[in-house]
């Protein structure tokens, strides 16, 4: 029996600017993404079996444990690409990253599955191969595989490493509120006025020159959904410097504010930080 544990970090969008809609229905983006010290934990076990099978389990009631889960799809894709047969894969998902929160929880678990299986099977695939599989499965997987601070373009699968800086992070999420990427992008498309600040380019310059990145934090999708959710407006009223990550509904602020008072229907994650790595062995 072979077993491995993988730490899968959450992701923040320090900037997220929508460039245009693609012919395939996705959107080209210009974004700076950063991995942070909030982790899901995967435990992957490979057992000999007559036929390939995948059994998922976990501690969350908010995700499916079947072929709809991106972890399941990642496992199937890896086994097919590596031409492996005769294995039962058991994957337990310890979910600590909120679901549908703009933190790439599903994407990082899928990237962790590809990375973990490749470790279990003596690195049958190259790093380039894994990145190609990530790009097939979704937009944020390549960022979660690569780790650190990254400039992401196209759908998010084209990544370029940026200088890493260490900063504290606090997350604030309305309990029970998830916003899908489809909803956020649809509402952005419907906006008549679309700001063009080029904050991504400005932040890249600041990172390369040791400047203050806080003044360039920005998210087009926050602009798209902000007026529709009282919870988001409440967070912004309490923490004007906070920014939404991804399609939301999580906001973040680059400070440690564990002592601030929010109602019970808001979830806090304090004492977090930027991390230089992506998915890795626990």
Active-site residues: which are they?
11, 140
Q: Which residues contact 138 (CB under 8 A, 6 or more apart)?
A: 70, 106, 107, 110
Closest listed residue to residue 62, CA positions, set 23, 8, 88, 101: 101
d(CA 46, CA 83): 15
DSSP code per residue over 37-88: EEEEEEEEEEEE-SS-EEEEEES-SSS-SSTTSHHHHHHHHHHHHHT--SEE
> Radius of gyration over alpha carbons of the chain, in Å?
19
Taking each helix axis from N to C terminus, what angle separates 127-137 and 70-82, rounded to the nearest 10 degrees?
A: 140
Q: Any residues with CB less than 8 A from the CB of 112 and at least 6 apart, and which?
A: 6, 7, 8, 40, 42, 144, 279
Give me 194's structure tokens: 């679309």
């Amino acid at each position: 029996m072979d077993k491995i544990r993988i730490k899968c970090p959450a992701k923040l969008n320090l900037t997220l600017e929508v460039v245009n809609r693609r012919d395939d229905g996705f959107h080209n983006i210009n974004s700076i993404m950063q991995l942070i010290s909030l982790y899901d934990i995967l435990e992957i076990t490979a057992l000999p079996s007559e036929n390939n099978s995948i059994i998922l389990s976990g501690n969350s009631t908010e995700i499916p444990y079947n072929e709809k889960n991106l972890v399941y799809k990642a496992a199937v894709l890896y086994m097919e690409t590596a031409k492996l047969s005769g294995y039962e894969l058991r994957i337990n998902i310890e979910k600590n990253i909120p679901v549908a929160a703009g933190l790439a929880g599903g994407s990082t678990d899928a990237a962790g599955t590809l990375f973990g299986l490749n470790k279990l099977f003596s690195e049958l695939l190259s790093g380039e191969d894994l990145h190609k599989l990530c790009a097939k499965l979704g937009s944020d997987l390549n960022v979660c595989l690569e780790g650190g601070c990254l400039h992401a373009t196209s759908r998010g699968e084209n990544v370029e490493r940026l200088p890493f800086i260490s900063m504290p992070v606090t997350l604030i999420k309305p309990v029970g509120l998830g916003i899908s990427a489809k909803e956020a992008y649809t509402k952005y498309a419907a906006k008549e006025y679309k700001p063009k600040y080029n904050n991504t380019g400005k932040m890249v310059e600041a990172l390369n020159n040791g400047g203050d990145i806080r003044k360039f934090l920005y998210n087009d999708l926050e602009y798209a959904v902000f007026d529709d959710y009282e919870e988001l407006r409440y967070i912004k009223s309490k923490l004007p410097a906070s920014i939404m990550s991804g399609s939301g509904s999580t906001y973040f602020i680059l400070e440690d504010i564990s002592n601030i008072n929010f109602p019970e229907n808001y979830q806090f994650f304090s004492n977090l930080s930027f991390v230089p790595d992506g998915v890795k062995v626990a």
